[in-house]
């Protein structure tokens, strides 16, 4: 009796689940959800032409580029974005020598204590300090940025899908909002204090285009011209480095490991031949067979 009751209950549940599945699928096919502006106009990032030096089969850090990227971060982005996981001493990894790291650190003001009064104040940075935050707290950050918080950039290329290409395209992707978009989706019109950028998830971002024109930063001699695209590529490479300084090493270790695997496979093949030679009546010398 209990068994029949159990089977019937099970059947009832199965029928209920199947029924709701069929009804919902039918509804989704007959009345699809209306397309949104984000679905229609959002663009997926492609990254710079030719890609980044640290990507692909023969990845390597282009230290000249990373230094240019650091310069763009320092002169442009650091006004709003922190880099809280990076210390000045880390700059030694992108080709600055000890003296330069000290000088760079000293060119930043970080929170410290006044040695005479003991009060909190800003002091020159030293290599062990971390990059300072531009705002005292989130409230101050929001107040200065149309109620949006500029995120910390240390891990941003990891925190977004296809992050390196995304950051590059976001920086170079600002444009006029298409008139037909506003016509079709009036509610998606770019609001006051926002800017249209089809790479941003909601199409309208509260960051004014940070890179505005060629020559915004001055690169040292022997470097390419600081066009918007060049500065965007450089700062993005720098942010890829802050997010994963060991990326290139990891790739190189991968190669060494692959080579080892090939070697081990060859070795395994020959030992297999050797071990099975007798059983298969192979080419092991006559003498050794007789000895058995
Ligand atoms: C004047 C302040 C300001 C400057 C300068 C600035 N940003 Fe921003 N940034 C913002 C704000 C505000 C947001 C948040 C926007 C939002 O959520 O709508 C943001 C967001 C971002 C995002 C995240 C987008 C996302 O997917 O959430 C990235 C990446 C970024 N900025 C990179 C940069 C880089 C690189 C620079 C320097 C070249 C820079 N920003 C300069 C204010 C600034």
> Higher pLDDT residue, 287 or 28?
28
> Which runs of E-coded beta strand occur in 79-225?
109-113, 120-124, 195-196, 204-205
pTM of the model: 0.85
Provide the CA 185 distance to its chain's centre, in angstroms.
31
pLDDT at position 286, please? 54
Q: pLDDT grade, residue 252 (50/70/90)?
A: confident
Q: Is residue 73 part of a domain?
A: yes
C-alpha R_g of the chain? 30
Kindly state whether residue 200 falls inside one of the protein's structural domains.
Answer: yes
Does ligand 1 come within 6 angstroms of the Cβ of 232? no
Ligand 1 in reach of 150 Cβ (< 6 A): yes
Closest residue to atom 37 of ligand 1, CA basis: 77
Same domain, 228 and 285: no
Cα 146 to its chain centre, rounded Å, is 25
Q: What is the pLDDT of residue 278?
A: 83
**Do 176 and 211 have their domain in common?**
yes
Please choose, from the candidates 125, 134, 131, the residue with its C-alpha nearest in 3D space to the C-alpha of residue 105: 125
Residue 156 in contact with ligand 1 by CB distance below 6 A: yes
Note whether 150 and 259 are same-domain residues.
Answer: no
CA of 156 to the centre of ligand 1 (A): 10
> CB neighbours of 8 closer than 8 A, spacing ≥ 6?
none
- 54 & 154 share domain: yes
Query: Who's near 136: CB < 8 A, 6+ residues apart?
Result: none
Range of the domain at 264: 249-291
CATH of the domain at 160: 1.10.760.10
CA–centroid distance, 66 to ligand 1, in Å, is 19
- Domain identity same for 228 and 265: no
- CA-proximal residue: ligand 1, atom 2 (nearest): 80
Average pLDDT over residues 24-36: 88
What's the pLDDT band for 13 if we cut at 50, 70, 90?
very high
Specify if 126 maps to a domain. no
Q: How far apart are CA 29 and CA 35, in angstroms?
A: 14
State the pLDDT confidence band at 57, using cuts at 50, 70 and 90: confident
Name the domain count of the chain: 2
For residue 217, report the distance from its CA to the centre of ligand 1, in Å.
18
Are residues 267 and 179 part of one domain?
no
Same domain, 68 and 170: yes
At 28 the pLDDT is: 85
* Chosen domain end from 208, 224, 245: 245
Given this model, what pLDDT does residue 74 score?
98
Predicted confidence (pLDDT) at residue 282 exceeds the cutoff of 70: no
Given its phi and psi angles, is residue 239 left (phi above 0), alpha (psi -120 to 50 degrees) or beta? Answer: alpha
Do the Cβ atoms of 204 and 41 come closer than 8 Å?
A: no
User: Is residue 240 situated within a structural domain?
Assistant: yes
Residue with CA nearest ligand 1 atom 25: 200
Same domain membership, residue 191 and residue 156: yes
- Rounded to the nearest whole angstrom, what is the distance from the C-alpha of residue 245 to the centroid of ligand 1? 22
Q: Are residues 199 and 219 in the same domain?
A: yes
Q: 198 and 239, same structural domain? A: yes
Q: Are residues 197 and 268 in the same domain?
A: no
Report pLDDT digits (tens) over 199-216.
Answer: 999 999 999 999 999 999
> What number is the average pLDDT over the span 120-141?
96
Average pLDDT over residues 100-128: 96
Average pLDDT estimate for 61-73: 97
Q: Report the separation in Å between the CA atom of 206 and the middle of ligand 1, taken as the mean of its atom positions.
A: 8
Q: What is the pLDDT of residue 277?
A: 87
65 and 164 in one domain?
yes
């Amino acid at each position: 009796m209990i068994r029949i009751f159990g089977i019937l209950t099970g059947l009832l549940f199965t029928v209920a689940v199947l029924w709701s599945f069929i009804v919902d699928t039918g509804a989704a096919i007959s009345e699809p959800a209306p397309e949104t502006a984000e679905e229609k106009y959002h663009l997926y990032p492609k990254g710079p032409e030719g890609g980044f030096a640290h990507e692909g089969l023969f990845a390597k850090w282009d230290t000249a580029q990373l230094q240019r990227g650091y310069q763009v971060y320092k002169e442009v982005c650091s006004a709003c974005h922190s880099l809280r996981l990076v210390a000045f001493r880390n700059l030694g990894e992108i080709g600055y020598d000890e003296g330069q790291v000290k000088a760079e650190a000293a060119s930043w003001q970080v929170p410290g204590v006044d040695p005479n009064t003991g009060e909190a104040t800003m002091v020159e940075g030293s290599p062990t300090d971390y990059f300072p935050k531009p705002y005292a707290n989130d409230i101050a950050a929001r107040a200065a940025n149309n109620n949006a918080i500029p995120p910390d950039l240390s891990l941003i290329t990891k925190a977004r899908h296809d992050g390196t290409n995304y950051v590059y395209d976001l920086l170079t992707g600002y444009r006029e909002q298409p008139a037909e978009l506003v016509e079709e989706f009036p509610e998606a019109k770019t609001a006051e204090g926002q800017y249209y950028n089809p790479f941003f998830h909601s199409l309208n971002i509260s960051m004014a285009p940070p890179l505005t024109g060629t020559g915004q930063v001055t690169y040292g001699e022997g470097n390419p011209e600081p066009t918007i695209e060049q500065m965007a590529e450089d700062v993005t490479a720098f942010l890829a480095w802050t997010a994963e300084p060991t990326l290139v090493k990891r790739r190189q270790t991968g190669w060494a490991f692959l080579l080892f695997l090939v070697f081990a496979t060859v070795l395994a093949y020959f030992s297999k031949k050797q071990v099975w030679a007798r059983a298969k009546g192979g080419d092991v010398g006559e003498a050794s067979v007789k000895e058995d």
